[in-house]
Structure 1
Amino acid sequence: MTNTKTAQSLFRPFSLGNLSLSNRTVMAPMTRQKSPNGVPGADVAAYYRRRAENGVGLIVTEGTVINHADSSNQKDVPHIYGEEALNGWAKVVSEVHEAGGKIVPQIWHMGARGHVNEYSVEEIAQIVQEFAKAAAEAQRLGFDGIELHGAHGYLIDQFFWEKTNQRTDRYGGDFIGRTTFAAEVVKACREAVGPDFTIILRISQWKGTDYSAKLVANAEELKQFLEPLVNAGVDIFHCSTRRFWEPEFEGSELNFAGWVKQLTGKPTITVGSIGLDGDVSTFFTTGSGSGNASLDGLIPKLENQEFDLVAIGRALLADPAWVSKIRDGKHEELIPFTPQAVQTLY
């Protein structure tokens, strides 16, 4: 197991513009469906506060859906619109800040129920504005930034991926044209919140329906894909993979976050089975848990500045004190990720 001295690089401060974090750990966004009719309650505030009290550098909330007919097909996923939901998030922000933490909402649209080809240009413009409204509300509520969910086959990613975007207008075409929607969302959010409010964009090659999917085949394509997103105003890229240790392209040991940082110069967040001995597919395909695993493969990459921040998902879902236990060398006290542990410690 990783010793305390080895893990020290996880606990260096990080600053970018107005965002200052006490360490490099990030709570990854994880959908829980615990907000009845879209309204986060006191239990949600307590859930996030527990992680802040235990030293998480930055909390990214579960996905919060925008005000659009297709944005959600799950009634207990939280909204980021409407007075009741927004009041609930204000309490979450207050609790996290009181505990010394930083928090951003992940702003989400689950995707077109039919096909992105069916959206009119006018409806796309409306969706873009709803993202911007959500960003403005997040800023008003006191969040420390926002994350836009552009990964895993949800709406922004449906525009990115050639299998779900066959549009022939400016929102389609090659992989650069398919970034147009995302770039418009980022730009609209930037205009809504101003230059100093952090915008994170989560991206992935893989999809919930296809783990082997690729948006781009090589580093040159990735560079071209990322350029419109950087120009639109992304501050940090959250680079989702199933296994952080896997190289993204042949001929280099860099993972997805490593490549994105190298090509853009922007800070990146890495994620994917950190602290666990099994990847996310085992949970979704078999319902099984994972044991705790060493961070020895992660720390050298962080020390080499291949990426800047480290997002922890299921390990932190199972154990609210995961970060403080790693910091304090209490590895024997780590709670393994099991469905039973998650139900107990939410």
Structure 2
Amino acid sequence: MRATIYGGPGDITVGERPDPRLQHQTDAIVRVTLGCVCGSDLWYYRGVNPHALGPIGHEFIGIVEQTGAEVSTVRPGDLVVAPFTFCDGTCANCAAGWTGNCLNGGSFGNHGVDGGQGEYVRVPFADATLFAVPGRDHSDAVMKSLVALSDVMCTGHHAAVSAAVKPGDTVAVVGDGAVGLCAVIAAKRLGAERIIALSRNPARQALAEQFGATDIVSERGDDATKVIMDMTAGVGVDAALECVGTGQSMATAFGVARVGSIVGSVGVPHDAVVPIQTVIFRNIGLRGGVAPARRYIPDLLDDVVTGRINPGLVFDHETSLDGIHDAYTAMLERRATKSLVRISG
């Protein structure tokens, strides 16, 4: 099969990999229809974070081609969403709802596991991992939003859930990438009354407003903190959603959070420091981490299929597998918020 190959920092190509085969009776083989590039893939591409040489890509949807004898919840021909991590559904962590931390699981597109930026993927623990989508005649807009469910929509939702967003809240979303924009959707969906999106990019500002942001703040760092504190009469926001992972974004999230609130942090951390003095003396909590996407997909799916939410709008660059290098560079150069890769029909 043809698949994207990571050859080291700055080296993304399309090459040949062995067609996946069932290795266990709990496996399924999925033909990938739509994949995409994640912001975390760029950290590997830039050489900031380590990644094994070989397959890459952890966000995809597709059609089940083959299943092992012990698979019962999906069958050949099903359209399925694959969360970015696979899980067995039975370990202590999965039983507690933390499917992204499965004791026997892992992530797609790393350490030799087939990646979503390729034509086929062997999915371990298919019953617990894959989620079948009712129907097949979905619009292209819905199909894009289904891809978003594999990671960024669930991750943005995790930020909002972790920060305990509730009806009537004032929420700040720090970060205007795909996850931050999806966090705006999530905050709106959970009933937030005022949503302050931090963004300097006009296109992303417009999309944040379309998703439900009521205010846009273009300042950064201490200036952003001052503006938001002034907007909230010096009190701060009821929930701060940190969707970047840098030291500045973490400082901003804690700087604008009101006493007794929670920062929901889902950004991959890079030189981020938790201000323990603020945690202790302002009683501000920190929750978040790797999103348990498989836990959230059933809850979010109906809203996607019915069009009540449309996270697929974060895809503003499209290409085929042959254009995968441009899919990466478009995001790296900030010509795109998120790149969609059309792999098969």
Shorter-normalised TM range: under 0.3
Higher relative contact order, structure no. (Cα contacts within 8 Å, ≥ 6 residues apart) = 2
Q: Give me the TM-score of the superposition, normalised by structure 1.
A: 0.27
The structure richer in helix per residue is: 1
The structure richer in strand per residue is: 2
